[in-house]
Structure 1
Amino acid sequence: MSARSEKTIVDIAAELQLSVSTVSRALNDHPNISLKTKERVRKMARKLGYRPNAMAAGLRNNKSRTIGLIVPRISMFFPAAITTVMQNKLQEYGYNLIICQSNDSLEQEIALVNTLYSARVDGLAVSATLYTTDFSHFDIFKQQNIPLVFFDRVPKDYNVKVIKGDDFRGGYLATEHLISKGCKDIVHISGPLTCNLYSERLAGYKDALQKHKLPYKKQRVFFHELTRDNALQTAARIFEKKPYPDGIFATNDTTAITLLEYCRNNGIQVPQQCRIIGYSNDPRTEIVTPSITSVDQHPVTMGERIVAALMELIQARHPSSYKHSQEIVPIELVERDSSAGGAKRKK
């Protein structure tokens, strides 16, 4: 059986005995074409199974009306929430979104950058992998004046638009909150320090300890990818022997939820014996028992700002001529039962 042949506007024109240009204008809702002719053309297009070739149209006008998005994992709450906001906002501007995930693989990220460049996206938004320290594979977008915005996981020294959360303040507020509840021995569970998120949250943790005259203990700080399996291994190390910590600041909610489960399964009462704080305000933190205190990163605000920045750069004549600029999205500590109770420490 022969492959199905793709119908074109030439086929529609032949069936209706119209010119190709008339069919093209009718399909594009040109004001000079009558409503009757437009309806005839659309009806025949449906009958023939005609599909517009958006790629070919993009080649003609040098606009694909698509934005590329690279996130580490679409399964994580924060990037998933941002993706939803971006897709909805971009549709308001008449743009579609191509969503890609790097799975925290630098090799995959490089491949996706090349794929999206070949797909002629009109702009690119990126949350980098945990291990991206050399961002030169993004240079092709800058060289070709294609708008490029980094968010959340961002480069430190690369001339692009950056939109990120206030991770230092988030780390500081989380730690200070535990201290205000009477905690004196606070564990910090961090991701790899090659990623800006975790280096800044660690700095906030250290600063809060120093301000409240508590020692920084290397044996109370753990670094690894923030997965459930890694969290269980770390929990076993934390509670291997006494004295147990009286507070834990985990830099993502998956880790905080896993620690809560570990404590429950091992007879460690939360918050009576150990208080726990997570990060991102994942909806799961509200429905577990006890509910988990977390840091809200406001993904709706960040998603809206990413789209606004892309639209501003698309409208600019030379979008890559700008220098490094950084926009900080405020964070907010959301207190719940996992850190409840306790008297404030004297300062």
Structure 2
Amino acid sequence: MTGKPATIKEIAKILNVSVSTVSRALHKHPTIGITTQLKVQALADKLGYEPNQNAISFQKGKTYNIGVIIPELSEAFFSAAISAIEDIAYKRNYTVLIAQSHDDEEKEIQLVEKMKNSRVDGLLISVAKTTSGFTHFDMLKRFNIPVVFFDRIPPLKNIHYVACNMETGSTEAVNYLLQKGHRSIGMINGPATLAASGERKEGYIKAMTKNRLKFDPSLIVSCNLTEQGTQAALDNLLAHKRRPTAIVTFNDYVSLYAIKHARNLKIDLDKDLQFVSYANLPLINYMDYAPVASVEQFPYLQGQKAADILLDLLSRKVQSTDEVQAYYNVMVESQLVENKIRNRG
């Protein structure tokens, strides 16, 4: 014994049969008698033979690996989505390869290339906040690798995606603040490159106009989702001639940064300024001062639906480029969740 895995050729040589006979016996082919099958299997077990997965994948045209590219695994939203993807993949005998773009377009491009070179059968992607070009996804089409986008969706036509309805979520958030008596409501939005930023803005505008309030575009300020960017955006709104008494923030992290900065500025977060955010992440429960409400985006459900779509595409395996393909466009409805925990600061 050399310590190396036994091969079909070695089994065939010991039993003095052909390689094809051993291969068929291991696969319980009906043309191979039961006695031969038992002899082959017994020797394979004794020698510690294991099937060559690369050869099997080549033969079947599948690796049973799917790739997932997300901005940050450390974010509770994406870790919840990954849990769902892994749960679905496991049930269908697929392995999940996970990579992080760290919200960098160049790294995302490199990761797409690496996933392609690793011969993944399909890919799930939530795009980076800096991604402004999308030609790297065209390469996947040329290699017949299906892609399903989730949460952060690129502004492209003819794509498969799962996303949360941020427009209705924004409308709910603004209506909630209006009902609490606020009339000057600001928004700290995300980068213009993210489709979700546009959806949040549209929901904000609809809520204001539906309630017969004048829309002031200067009350919507974009940021790059960093703490420094959030601080600058908040300073901008606080210097506004119609200083907001409430602000809708792009997500719970931006809300956390804004609340921290507001406290440093000695702003009374019970009387003078309130926040509503998105995602409804667990971190809200551990904040001394939390947003009064947050829009639930159901990350596990998004991950689940995205994985189901990708595995369905792989099972159908559409080969003809001439065939008109229907695209999955799934929108998960958001839900405004009021924070019942009183401020502890």
TM-score normalized with structure 2 length: 0.84
Question: Counterpart of 2:99 in 1: which secondary structure?
Answer: strand
1:99 positional shift: 0.7
Looking at structure 2, the residues matched to 9 and 272 of structure 1 have their Cα atoms a distance apart, in angstroms, of 74
Looking at structure 1, the residues matched to 264 and 85 of structure 2 have their Cα atoms a distance apart, in angstroms, of 39
Question: Counterpart of 1:289 in 2: which secondary structure?
Answer: coil
Q: What letter corresponds to residue 176 of structure 1 in structure 2?
A: N
Asked if 1:300 is matched to 2:300, the reply is: yes
Contact kept? 1:166, 1:331, Cα under 8 Å: yes
* More moved, 141-150 vs 274-283: 141-150
2:125 aligned partner: 126
Looking at structure 2, the residues matched to 286 and 199 of structure 1 have their Cα atoms a distance apart, in angstroms, of 28
1:175 positional shift: 1.2
2:336 aligned partner: 333
Q: Deviations over 1:9-30 (max 9, x none)?
A: 2399469945766876788799
State the identity %.
30
Contact kept? 1:187, 1:221, Cα under 8 Å: yes
Q: Deviations over 1:312-338 (max 9, x none)?
A: 111224177514441101111000148
Looking at structure 2, the residues matched to 338 and 182 of structure 1 have their Cα atoms a distance apart, in angstroms, of 20
Contact kept? 1:186, 1:220, Cα under 8 Å: yes
Q: For structure 2, which runs of at least 5 residues remain unmatched after alignment? A: none
1:172 positional shift: 1.1
Contact kept? 1:277, 1:339, Cα under 8 Å: no
1:273 aligned partner: 272
Looking at structure 1, the residues matched to 62 and 124 of structure 2 have their Cα atoms a distance apart, in angstroms, of 17
Contact kept? 2:309, 2:328, Cα under 8 Å: no
Measured at CA, do residues 78 and 168 of structure 1 come closer, stay the same or move farther in structure 2, by a change above 3 Å?
same
Asked if 1:63 is matched to 2:62, the reply is: yes
Question: Counterpart of 2:69 in 1: which secondary structure?
Answer: strand
Q: How does 1:41-60 map to 2 (within 5 A)?
A: 41-42=44-45, 44-45=47-48, 53-60=52-59
1:63 positional shift: 0.7
Contact kept? 1:271, 1:338, Cα under 8 Å: no
Q: Deviations over 1:271-296 (max 9, x none)?
A: 33211111111101122234432111
Contact kept? 2:186, 2:246, Cα under 8 Å: yes
Looking at structure 2, the residues matched to 100 and 29 of structure 1 have their Cα atoms a distance apart, in angstroms, of 38
Measured at CA, do residues 310 and 83 of structure 1 come closer, stay the same or move farther in structure 2, by a change above 3 Å?
same
Q: What letter corresponds to residue 337 of structure 2 in structure 1?
A: V
Looking at structure 2, the residues matched to 243 and 302 of structure 1 have their Cα atoms a distance apart, in angstroms, of 38
1:285 aligned partner: 284
TM-score normalized with structure 1 length: 0.83
Looking at structure 2, the residues matched to 298 and 328 of structure 1 have their Cα atoms a distance apart, in angstroms, of 11
Question: Counterpart of 2:254 in 1: which secondary structure?
Answer: helix
Q: How does 1:62-101 map to 2 (within 5 A)?
A: 62-101=61-100
Q: What letter corresponds to residue 171 of structure 2 in structure 1?
A: Y
Contact kept? 1:126, 1:151, Cα under 8 Å: yes
* More moved, 226-235 vs 113-122: 226-235
Contact kept? 1:271, 1:339, Cα under 8 Å: no
1:105 aligned partner: 104
* More moved, 210-219 vs 192-201: 210-219
* More moved, 297-306 vs 216-225: 216-225
Contact kept? 1:174, 1:277, Cα under 8 Å: yes
Q: Deviations over 1:128-183 (max 9, x none)?
A: 12233432221232233322211111133331212111011111111111111111
Question: Counterpart of 1:203 in 2: which secondary structure?
Answer: helix
